[in-house]
Amino acid sequence: QVHLVESGGASVQAGGSLRLSCAASGYTFRGNSMAWFRQAPGKEREGVAVLPRSTSGKIYYADSVEGRFTVSRDNAENTVYLQMNRLEPEDTAIYYCAAGFIGGLIFSPETYKHWGQGTNVTVSS
């Protein structure tokens, strides 16, 4: 059984930084793509970043976070990270990691089989 567990969410002031983690059991991130999504109150879940299967592949970021967020993978720890810098109040959301890409649009939630429970990020102005 696949379990994804996010951690690292917190309340921070605008301009601050956070690093989110997603640890997996029953699933290996190495050689598999994964994604970070977020869902703000009253809004649909949106893709934030997609890490490709290959370490040499292109990493995709949503326009709203490009240049501020960085996704990375630690194969030894079977953990992926989302480094978030220069946080803005608009980044306030529950952040989810997703894995088990089944094909389709990489930023579409429907294309991932496995989800974590989410971690809460609040950015105050």
Quickly state the pLDDT bin for 31 (edges 50, 70, 90). Answer: confident
What proportion of the chain, given as a percentage, has pLDDT over 90?
91
Query: In the predicted model, is pLDDT for residue 57 greater than 90?
Result: no
Q: What is the mean pLDDT of the segment spanning 114-125?
A: 97
For 1-43, the DSSP string reads: --EEEEE---EEETT--EEEEEEEESS--TTS-EEEEEE-TTS
Q: What is the mean pLDDT of the segment spanning 117-124?
A: 98
